[in-house]
Chains A and B, each alone.
Chain A
Amino acid sequence: MVVKQSVEVAIIGGGSTGLMTAYYLAREGVKDIHIFEGRYLGFGSTGRCAGGVRASFASDVHVKLMKESISRWLSLREEISGLEFVQDGYLWLLTTEELVEVHKKLSAYQNSLGVPTRILERDEIRDMVPIELNDILAALYDPMAGKASPLKFLWSVRRKLRELGVAIHEYTPVTNVRVSGGRARSITINESKDVEVGGHVVVAAGVWCKDILERIGVKIPLKKDPHHLLVTEKYVQFIKPLVIHKETGSYIVQHETGSLLIGTEFPVPEEDTTLRYGYLRKAVTIMSRYFPQILSTNLLRVWIGYYEVTPDHHPIVGVIPHLENLVVATGFSGHGYMMAPIIGEELKNIILEGKPKLPETRELRLERFEEGKLLKESAVFG
């Protein structure tokens, strides 16, 4: 598609945040919305994530935003044909007395904010999933949480945006933003062509936001944190909730399609993201202790995707200081996909109303790092 000389709204990044922003803007009747993606939709972190969605966090900001986001996920599956969101819950397997104590307190905190998590005994866990309990003492269960297949999300939202008239430009990297007089004036695509922007520029390019913003002198405290994930062939659904082995940071999720995704903590340096066999061995060794079924499955692919992590593990959302029409949303620290619906709607509010609707979103502004007002976990558990 040939890009016009000037557009109203330019969204940089074809991931979940950019797509949701376009969706909520288009639904309000905004015209001339253009998404620019350097590769293809979902190439960044969205297409590589596991698709878990939960409000059971340990900070007020996260819990409140995610409760709002879950209510959006529930309406999105009605509004967008083919979008899948299944509220099958999250299950944290707890293997030490200390973890059980911490999670009891965490659950009480979450309950106080209206997230109905609860501690399950061994028998109750077995009723929920076909598991070998081994050393599991108890689990924290979050019935409000769920999963949304990222692939179905990408396809269904793409189709919806096309219906709404949003232009999607793939293989069109944005290499620069030109600013003057306190405004973003244009963006440079394919290192050569300038496209004027009449309204707003939204930078929603995940870890790559840092590169774009640094070119116009905006410093943003963002670290790339590579994480592995694997996918198997499709099998009859046998694990409904997303299951996390808390002690090792390992997890497994089976989407409605039947594919199993398995992740684990396996730190690799940002500069060498060659796939590690050590990850595969660790992920399978740990999860097969509890789900020996996975040893009979066929592995399809292993890949690495990035978490874009901020110093306080909370996102950065808002207008860039002194640039009235340049909006950023990044730094989700591994939670960008689940937050995309509420963040997309809040970016719409920022663009149309001049400010976000929720007080929690206002706390996510970039200035907090310079001012030393980092967000904190609301309570320290353990």
Chain B
Amino acid sequence: MGDRRIRSHPILEFKRGREITIFFEGEPLRAFEGESLAAAIYAAGIDVFRLSPTLKRPRAVFCMVGKCGSCMVRVNGIPTRSCITPAEDGMRVERINDLPEASKYEKRLVSEEITTDVLIVGGGPAGMASAEVLCNTDLNVVLVDDQIRLGGQLIKQTHIFFGSKELFAGRRGFEIAEEYSSKLSKCSNMRIISGATVVGVFKEGVLAVSDEAKYLIRPKYVVIATGAYENHLVFENNDLPGVMGAGGAQTLMNVWGVKPGNEVLVVGSGNVGLIISYQLLQAGAEVKAVVEALPRIGGWFVHAAKIRRYGVPILTSHTILGVNGTRRVEEAVIARVDENWNVVGGTERFVKVDTVLLAVGLTPNTELVRQFGAATRYIPDLGGLVPLKTPYMETSVENVFVAGDLAAIEEATTAFIEGWIAGYSILIKARGEREEYLTKRENLLRMLYEYRSAPVSEKIRRSWQLSLLPCGGVNA
């Protein structure tokens, strides 16, 4: 077993907590207090977190954000998603090699009922942007986020944003997340509940649950900013440890300072695939290749040029057929595809890698917005099933707003703009059509329009109209 912690990094400095000891299958492991338990286990060189219940196939981290269940382990006897559980001294962790057991649970959750003007669900760029607009107004705001740290996907983004200054040009995602996190914690009208998942919409209120408490929240206005999931891809042995979402790998590497692997194949050449490849190089890993099924690179030229300079081949018209390995990926099989996406016989190649990262798109996380009863529509260009909304981000359910990736798979920048628009829309509804708010919102709508005139936003431009509700119902 090796130590997968990153010792030195050109950009990131990992602020680790107090050194503690956790026990994995009885063996002591070094960890740092408050870090993701899954990251601590993975850092110690452990490949297999659990076995699948039926076929007993090895499983390990995939998404790193509590969505997939691959990292489920028993912690002090309780089945737990280790990626979103902070490590504590003395934790006893065991593999689950069957279905998990429902075990006796002594802890009693604290119950709290909260009446508030605004509930924001999700502390990523969109949710934080709405919170920023509402900060220090006379509306009470509760922001609920299910992760250990606020910031959504920003906390793992180390690349520099382009564009204009008001849209964070020259800044890195994790710096923006830190700044917002600190700014929002100082808002006098805001309560931030981290580590809690909003699980249900009931007649009596919206239910959020953490390890410590359950909250029944009664809001007048809601902003749903629940983001998206990473897509998986079908190929042989795609569940083998070492196959990870690119976002999951980014969390391991850029948030917790743990190297996902040493020799990596990246699948997908969109911006996520290109950026993760560069970040892997920064973390000291070798990127064997980026494969892309389309005949051209999906992401921005600058990102592609950067990794090419380091000699990473970007293989267009190539796909992954499978991976081999016993406890972990040992090699990947790739091949050329023709213009109809059919594999060209005889072009199969084996690539020796220990890690395969999937950067093959995202799916909007619409469960909650659908629980609110909002109308949705399947629009492939926007990422799949998405809520319908007015230009002001209000859904078909009055006073329920959306912003960010769940509305359409886009970027942090557009998520911010949508979050601001939703924030102003709530101010306008709650406090009347003040000139100041209306002007700001109009400017933001213009900014969003301009941002989407770039070539990479072609799909959004093409299909955005399909997701629009007439704005007659909105008080604006």
Binds A, one of B23-31, B203-211, B453-461: B203-211
B99 touches A275 (CB 8 A): no
The size of the chain B interface, using a CB distance under 8 A, is: 22
Name the one of A274, A292, A299 contacting B105, with C-beta atoms under 8 angstroms. A292
Cα distance A315–B450 in the bound complex, in angstroms: 64
Binds B, one of A193-201, A234-242, A324-332: A234-242
B102 touches A297 (CB 8 A): yes
CB distance from A82 to the nearest CB of B (A): 15
CB distance from A149 to the nearest CB of B (A): 15
* B53 within 8 A of partner (CB): yes
Name the one of A294, A295, A296, A299 contacting B79, with C-beta atoms under 8 angstroms. A296
B101 touches A235 (CB 8 A): yes
A293 touches B202 (CB 8 A): no
A295 touches B203 (CB 8 A): no
* A260 within 8 A of partner (CB): yes
CB distance from B366 to the nearest CB of A (A): 15
* A258 within 8 A of partner (CB): yes
Cα distance A234–B104 in the bound complex, in angstroms: 16
CB distance from B146 to the nearest CB of A (A): 13
* A278 within 8 A of partner (CB): yes
A275 touches B203 (CB 8 A): yes
A296 touches B203 (CB 8 A): no
A274 touches B202 (CB 8 A): yes
Name the one of B101, B104, B203 contacting A236, with C-beta atoms under 8 angstroms. B101
* B201 within 8 A of partner (CB): yes
Cα distance A280–B103 in the bound complex, in angstroms: 20
Cα distance A235–B79 in the bound complex, in angstroms: 9
B105 touches A293 (CB 8 A): yes
B53 touches A234 (CB 8 A): yes
CB distance from A174 to the nearest CB of B (A): 26
Within 8 A of B (CB), among A283-336: 292-299, 302
Chain B, 85-111, contact with A by CB distance < 8 Å: what is the 0/1 string?
000000000000011111111110000
Contacts of A233 in B (CB 8 A): 100
A296 touches B202 (CB 8 A): no
Known contacts: A292-B104, A293-B104, A295-B105. The answer to whether A236 contacts B202 by CB under 8 A is: no
B202 touches A275 (CB 8 A): yes
B102 touches A235 (CB 8 A): yes
* B445 within 8 A of partner (CB): no
Cα distance A277–B214 in the bound complex, in angstroms: 12
A258 touches B99 (CB 8 A): yes
Cα distance A234–B205 in the bound complex, in angstroms: 27
B207 touches A236 (CB 8 A): no
The winner among B107, B203, B205, B216 for most chain A CB atoms within 10 A is B203
Within 8 A of B (CB), among A175-194: none
A296 touches B200 (CB 8 A): no
B200 touches A302 (CB 8 A): yes
A299 touches B199 (CB 8 A): yes
Cα distance A236–B102 in the bound complex, in angstroms: 7
A274 touches B203 (CB 8 A): yes
Within 8 A of B (CB), among A245-286: 258, 260, 272, 274-278, 280
Contacts of A275 in B (CB 8 A): 200-203
Chain B, 138-152, contact with A by CB distance < 8 Å: what is the 0/1 string?
000000000000000
A296 touches B78 (CB 8 A): yes
Contacts of B78 in A (CB 8 A): 296
Name the one of A238, A258, A277, A295 contacting B202, with C-beta atoms under 8 angstroms. A277
The winner among A234, A235, A293 for most chain B CB atoms within 10 A is A235
Chain B, 383-400, contact with A by CB distance < 8 Å: what is the 0/1 string?
000000000000000000
Nearest first, the 6 A-B pairs at minimum CB distance are A277-B202, A295-B105, A293-B102, A296-B105, A274-B203, A277-B204
**What are 25 of the A-B contact pairs (CB < 8 Å)?**
A234-B53, A234-B100, A236-B98, A236-B99, A236-B100, A236-B102, A258-B53, A260-B102, A274-B203, A275-B200, A275-B201, A275-B203, A276-B204, A277-B203, A278-B204, A280-B207, A292-B105, A293-B104, A293-B105, A294-B102, A295-B105, A296-B78, A296-B102, A298-B79, A299-B199
Residues of chain B at the chain A interface (Cβ within 8 Å): 53, 78-79, 98-107, 199-205, 207, 216
* Given contact pairs A235-B99, A295-B105, a sample of 16 additional A-B residue pairs in the complex whose CB atoms are under 8 Å apart: A233-B100, A235-B102, A236-B101, A238-B102, A258-B53, A275-B201, A277-B200, A277-B203, A280-B200, A280-B207, A292-B104, A292-B105, A293-B101, A293-B102, A293-B104, A296-B102
